[in-house]
Amino acid sequence: MKKAKLLLSSLIVLTGMLVVGTTHTAYAAEKGKDEGWDVPNIALGNGLTEAEKQQTTDILMKDLNKISDLKGVDTTKHNTVVVHGNDLVKYVTDVPEFTASSKAYSSAFIVRTKSGSGVNVDIVTPNNITARTEAMYRSAAITSGVYDAYIRIGSVRTMDGSGALAGIYKIYDEVAPAENNKEQTQRDEKRAVAQEQMKVVSDIDNQNKDNKDYSSENILVMLADIQMELQKINDKLKNAPADEVQTQVEEVVTNQIDKNGLTEAITPELKTEIVNNMVNFTNTGAITDNQLTKQLTNFKDDLVKNGSEFKSNLLSDENVEKAKSGASGLWQSIKDFFSSLFN
């Protein structure tokens, strides 16, 4: 009888320990996740030497106390992840040349900021990042679902900046992993659209490399406008057949190209890229994301007001009307091109 009582007592104690242990583990996991966002996270390229990793970390962490968005953030600590070739293949799909053996060098810093602050990016080594701008990183982060964050990009070597972009995405996945397969699929779809947009911007940049009246910041503002306009007509799009969605998206794209004075910068082929990308956008969960609307509005308004390369003259009535009139014949060629597609 005494043995039975002793066994029962032991089971009760053990059960209590399991409950306490489980509760503590759950609390620790939640606390760890919160701390993962609330302290800085750094993604370092796997190609860096140990000395370069330390140098890069020092660059990315320098003078954080002077950043107003980081008030209240413990900038004496940070988490570190490493970006490998597999991460470049997974995340940076606008550069198909990457393989599992590729090396990353450019690096990224990211920390969550207060709700409504938007996504802000500083390239702290601007001479060493050759192919991606602050505005491009902001746009990619927002479109992929990264909201309200302060991001720094840095590299001790001259690189295109792809390693840093992969780092932003990898940190997001590791600090705030998807809770289930459905959420992961939605996240992957958003990220794919973001990377398509990076390719679109790059292709338009290449087309206009000798055009002094061109800026990729104007393209990014236009893409933000297109996404927000598509959100407004989503009720019409969600039950429409594919050909009708294509037509509606094309109409929105055409209107926004006109509005932003960019008809002379965007060829029919480039316009097709934009239309296809935006059709894909309508098939993601982002189309109904009100938070995305707020982030895009913040991003767009800031670029128009403060963008170092934004060409405000392109938005003048004279330029928009000139673009519509097709003095060079380009506007008519665009209309003819799309007319042939749908006739």
Over residues 241-264, the mean pLDDT reads 96
Flag whether pLDDT at 328 surpasses 80: no
pLDDT band at 260 (very low <50, low <70, confident <90, very high): very high
What pLDDT, on a 0 to 100 scale, did the predictor assign at position 37? 73
Biggest CA-to-CA distance, the chain = 102
Tokens 């055009």 -> residue:
211
Flag whether pLDDT at 230 surpasses 90: yes
Tens of pLDDT, residue by residue over 27-71, are 334 444 445 677 899 999 999 999 999 999 999 999 998 998 888
What pLDDT, on a 0 to 100 scale, did the predictor assign at position 191? 94
Share of the chain above pLDDT 70, in %: 80
- Cα 231 off chain centre by: 18
Tokens 């403060």 -> residue:
306
What pLDDT, on a 0 to 100 scale, did the predictor assign at position 21? 45
What pLDDT, on a 0 to 100 scale, did the predictor assign at position 15? 44
Q: Closest Cα to residue 75, out of 62, 90, 94, 87?
A: 62
Q: What is the pTM of this model?
A: 0.79
What is the pLDDT of the chain when averaged over all its residues?
84
Q: In what order do the strands lie in the sheet with 107-112?
A: 79-83, 41-45, 107-112, 149-154, 119-123
